[in-house]
Amino acid sequence: MAEARATLGLDLHLEPAGPGLRRGLTDALREAVRGGRLAPGTRLPSSRALAADLGIARNTVADAYADLVAEGWLTARQGSGTRVADRAVPPPPGPRPGSRHREPARPAHNLVPGTPDLASFPRGAWLRAARRALAAAPNDALGYGDPRGRVELRTALAGYLARVRGVRTDPDRIVVVNGFAQALKLLAEVLHARGTRTLAVESYGLDTHWDIARRAGLATVPLPHDGLGARTERLADAPAVLLNPSHQFPLGGALRRERRVAAVDWARRTGGLILEDDYDGEFRYDRQPVGALQDLDPDRVVYLGTASKSLAPGLRLGWMVLPPSLLPEVLDHGGARSVGVLDQLTLAEFLTSGAYDRHVRSARLRYRRRRDTLVAAVAERAPRVRVRGIAAGLHAVLELPEGTEASVVGAAAWQRLAVTGLSRYRHPDAAAEPLDGLVVGFGTPPDHAWAGALDALCRVLP
Amino acid sequence: MAEARATLGLDLHLEPAGPGLRRGLTDALREAVRGGRLAPGTRLPSSRALAADLGIARNTVADAYADLVAEGWLTARQGSGTRVADRAVPPPPGPRPGSRHREPARPAHNLVPGTPDLASFPRGAWLRAARRALAAAPNDALGYGDPRGRVELRTALAGYLARVRGVRTDPDRIVVVNGFAQALKLLAEVLHARGTRTLAVESYGLDTHWDIARRAGLATVPLPHDGLGARTERLADAPAVLLNPSHQFPLGGALRRERRVAAVDWARRTGGLILEDDYDGEFRYDRQPVGALQDLDPDRVVYLGTASKSLAPGLRLGWMVLPPSLLPEVLDHGGARSVGVLDQLTLAEFLTSGAYDRHVRSARLRYRRRRDTLVAAVAERAPRVRVRGIAAGLHAVLELPEGTEASVVGAAAWQRLAVTGLSRYRHPDAAAEPLDGLVVGFGTPPDHAWAGALDALCRVLP
């Protein structure tokens, strides 16, 4: 029953619609009945039990049940509890074309990792840079142009990446892309065309990335993993590996020096290729700088960066720094002219004018404060929970007592707190034992919503 | 020898570098010798013969020869003519990484089709729309958002395409893409995943499109073709076809009503899919409107449009209108979130404010005037040449006397006039006899350069 409830909670989490917890719960239950997931006659848990499990007030559940009894979806009988009504289920209205792709309704609190604080996007500075960039652009810039992207941006990036991330490159080897997903898709296609059929990945990561590789014909094989990160000394069979050396997603650590060296040694020995996903390298909070792995061997490492965390995902701006040998194949596979020149020129202006540095500095301060309040609040209100992976980035991992992750995630869903469990990121073929944890994106909420989100989080922690 | 010279001209066309014809010719010849394309001892045509063939002054050729003799690349001996010097060829300097992808140097006159007049891009109006759009955008717009693209743009496009192109759609079925190439790549991947292995195409088209299909695993099979266009009544084996119904590229005609009906009948009968490439549907100069083929059956036709001709290719903005059945697969193959939201919101604002209509109207007038001067100039100065495909779009086809295309293209190259021959666009497996012609992009030059480009063109016509 606990399992059924957790599943119910997770399913409902997909559609946490409507303003207010009671209405959201009512809507979600109605949908579950209407859609047939809760069959006629199914007995629901008591309002007391469900409320306790999900960390919400019993009255909220009781009210939702009462609403649905009144509507005829549920029946409540003395001695028999609350059940799904045994009535003809009306056919669901036909979905509008494409409706399965609509954006999900917004949760009350959003701590899903992956998005920076969008309210702090520097709109004014960006528009000013756009105006300067467009005024300075030659007419030719508006044409098809260089397949790698505008030279102004590639030049600005080469300087910036060398200074801030220790990347060794010149503008010729940079290709501007519309995000990490496009870059990974292209690289997977190039590897497939070279005969590669597998890609080593870390045990924890994003299934969207594994899907991209799979669709390009590469099976993903998880590397063994321990407390120090991916065991790169076990790289052997796969001809290529995808790594987060600076800040593992989601676990949060940096790949240690000896494991970096092991990865590069492997690549040199076997002719292997390392794809370095440096998605949030700008945000480090401790004194120890962690540079790009690419620095160890620019001919064996593809460096992949993005403005999605430092500025905003909506810009769709990313970049690849390629070994020269890979460049022609990447361009042949369509890795060309995928980003609007106005955004490219604006980012170039943003980088060279110093506006980018200013924005990153202020964002770093803001995120660091949030991280500090997160650590302090968890230490005070949930002392059984350990916070990991906090030296960098926009997310932290909250280690949970064994076996509690599903119920905590379910409870969060009922509170309309969007947060993801660590198991969501575990590769299905990973050998290591599953870890119980929450991945908390502390960059996501706007400033005014951070305290409320943190409070909602602490309420669901064991 | 005529063949050798034409080939030489075409090769040199690839690198028409430097300011001025003499220097460009000298550089190009030097490169041909240095790179080994002209072997030591090869006898060059006399300066008089080459100049006549290429439509340039004899002195220019003689001066270029003299320069190269002085430099030691050529030898000139009484009675033996001018030959490539019999000397040790110095090794070419190693190419810089990626240098094969650098943009080619600019020709003096550019009539290559495919690019609109970039000097007339409405920079001020675009920036104003960007400012309004960014001011009105919610913070959420800067996130990952709807995989199909911003709803503001899809809504604006649905209205615009219905009004101007007769496309039947709602915003849910539109996916914003970064250009036709991305859309075709995605659709080819979806078709391949469905088991499709061939794509019917027109006999004349762009090899870059055929390459995209091939890389996705689809062999392109040219449809038979006659004076009325693609013989869609011969569609049979291929499960999908790529067509330019409104304005064939490069031939310039519109697909007749009965052939449109035949295509849709085929699609309904066989479950086939029609990909409609409507790249320049805004630019029609005759009274007869030619609407989108998609109108005949929105469940069998994918409509593909772009801002690359109506505004500028550098924006990287295009759109697909999909049959509902195709939408999930297209999004699964990565057809999502590929365009920056700022450009999307700006185009939406541009469309809804009427700025887009105003820009297209003024561009249509400008291009129509150019078309008229092109037709008049050719009629006067090259009466043997017929101009075709002039009812619409940004290019025309100049029909040449049989067997003259290569020499005309070569002559143009020597004049540093960039223009392409019709054979460049003929599918290698096309059954029809090759046609001799020039494809003239009259949208490409800025206004001040149009008269000079037209004059250069007339000078090389037979």
CA distance B327 to chain A (A): 7
Residue A276 zone, left/alpha/beta (φ > 0; ψ -120 to 50; rest)? beta
- In this prediction the pTM is 0.79
SS3 A420: strand
Peptide bond into B250 cis (omega under 30): yes
Domains defined for chain A, CATH in brackets:
5-84 (1.10.10.10), 109-115+358-460 (3.90.1150.10), 121-354 (3.40.640.10)
Cα B438 to Cα B109: distance, rounded to the nearest angstrom: 15
Q: Do the beta carbons of residue B58 and residue B46 sit within 8 Å?
A: no
Minimal Cβ distance to B338: which of A146, A338, A446: A338
Residue B142 to residue A173, Cβ atoms within 8 A? no
| Predicted ipTM of the assembly | 0.78
Q: How large is the C-alpha radius of gyration of chain B?
A: 24
Beta-bridge partner residues of B276 = B243, B303
Token couple for A249? 């997603």
Token couple for B222? 């040219």
Q: Is the pLDDT of residue B169 over 60?
A: yes
Which is higher by pLDDT, B173 or B434? B173
- Considering only CB atoms, which chain A residues are within 8 Å of B127? 130-131, 134
pLDDT by residue (tens digit) across B319-376?
999 999 999 999 888 767 899 999 999 999 999 999 999 999 999 999 999 999 999 9
Token couple for A185? 């898709």
| pLDDT for position B317 | 97
Total number of residues shown for chain B: 462
CA distance A314 to chain B (A): 4
| pLDDT for position A32 | 74
| Residue at B313: amino acid letter | P
Residue B334 to residue A185, Cβ atoms within 8 A? yes
Token couple for B337? 């979130």
pLDDT by residue (tens digit) across B235-282?
987 899 999 999 999 999 999 999 999 999 999 999 999 999 999 988
| pLDDT for position B398 | 97
| pLDDT for position B106 | 64
Q: Is the pLDDT of residue B170 over 70?
A: yes
Q: Do the beta carbons of residue A447 and residue A366 sit within 8 Å?
A: yes
Does an H or E element contain A206, and which?
none
| pLDDT for position B98 | 40
| pLDDT for position B60 | 80
Q: Do the beta carbons of residue A161 and residue A170 sit within 8 Å?
A: no
Confidence of residue B78 (pLDDT cuts 50, 70, 90): low
| pLDDT for position A106 | 65
* 3-state percent breakdown (helix, strand, coil) of chain B, nearest 5: 45, 15, 40
Confidence of residue B85 (pLDDT cuts 50, 70, 90): confident
Cα B285 to Cα A203: distance, rounded to the nearest angstrom: 60
Cα A44 to Cα A76: distance, rounded to the nearest angstrom: 10
Exposed e or buried b for every residue in B7-21, given b needs 16+ CB within 10 A? ebbebbbeebbeeeb
| pLDDT for position B18 | 42
Cα B83 to Cα B80: distance, rounded to the nearest angstrom: 8
> Pairing between strand B395-399 and B386-388?
antiparallel
Minimal Cβ distance to B343: which of A123, A144, A343: A343
Token couple for A3? 């399992």
Residue B337 to residue A179, Cβ atoms within 8 A? yes
Cα B356 to Cα B437: distance, rounded to the nearest angstrom: 34
Cα A197 to Cα A240: distance, rounded to the nearest angstrom: 10
Q: What is the mean pLDDT of residues B150-178?
A: 96
| pLDDT for position A90 | 41
Residue A172 to residue B324, Cβ atoms within 8 A? no
pLDDT by residue (tens digit) across A264-302?
999 999 999 999 999 998 899 887 778 999 999 999 999
Token couple for B304? 């593909």
CA distances from B173 to B149, B344, B374 (A): 11, 16, 40
Beta-bridge partner residues of B398 = B387, B438
Q: What is the mean pLDDT of residues B195-224?
A: 95
Handedness of CA A293, A296, A302, A307 (dihedral sign): positive
Residue B98 to residue A324, Cβ atoms within 8 A? yes
Minimal Cβ distance to A142: which of B118, B134, B215: B118
Residue B179 to residue A118, Cβ atoms within 8 A? no
Which is higher by pLDDT, B37 or B435? B435
Helices marked H in A114-150: 123-136
Cα A216 to Cα A188: distance, rounded to the nearest angstrom: 6
| pLDDT for position A188 | 96
Q: Is the pLDDT of residue B159 over 50?
A: yes
Confidence of residue B21 (pLDDT cuts 50, 70, 90): confident
| pLDDT for position A20 | 66
Query: Residue B454 burial by CB count (10 A; 0-12/13-18/19+): exposed, middle or buried?
Result: buried
| pLDDT for position A335 | 67
CA distance B191 to chain A (A): 13
Residue A446 to residue B342, Cβ atoms within 8 A? no
Cα A303 to Cα A292: distance, rounded to the nearest angstrom: 8
Name every residue whose Cβ is closer than 8 Å to that of residue B143 and which is 6 or more positions away in sequence.
A115, A118, A312, A313, A314
Cα B229 to Cα B253: distance, rounded to the nearest angstrom: 7
Q: Is the pLDDT of residue B13 over 60?
A: no
SS3 B235: coil
Token couple for B162? 């219905």
B423 CB neighbour count, 10 Å cutoff: 15
- Considering only CB atoms, which chain B residues are within 8 Å of A179? 337-338
Residue A314 to residue B181, Cβ atoms within 8 A? no
Q: Is the pLDDT of residue B58 over 90?
A: no
Confidence of residue B99 (pLDDT cuts 50, 70, 90): very low
Cα A229 to Cα A435: distance, rounded to the nearest angstrom: 14
Size of interface A-B (CB pairs under 8 A): 176
Give every residue of chain A whose pLDDT is below 50, as ranges. 1-19, 88-104
- Considering only CB atoms, which chain A residues are within 8 Å of B178? 178, 337-340
- Considering only CB atoms, which chain B residues are within 8 Å of A147? 101
Cα A207 to Cα A181: distance, rounded to the nearest angstrom: 12
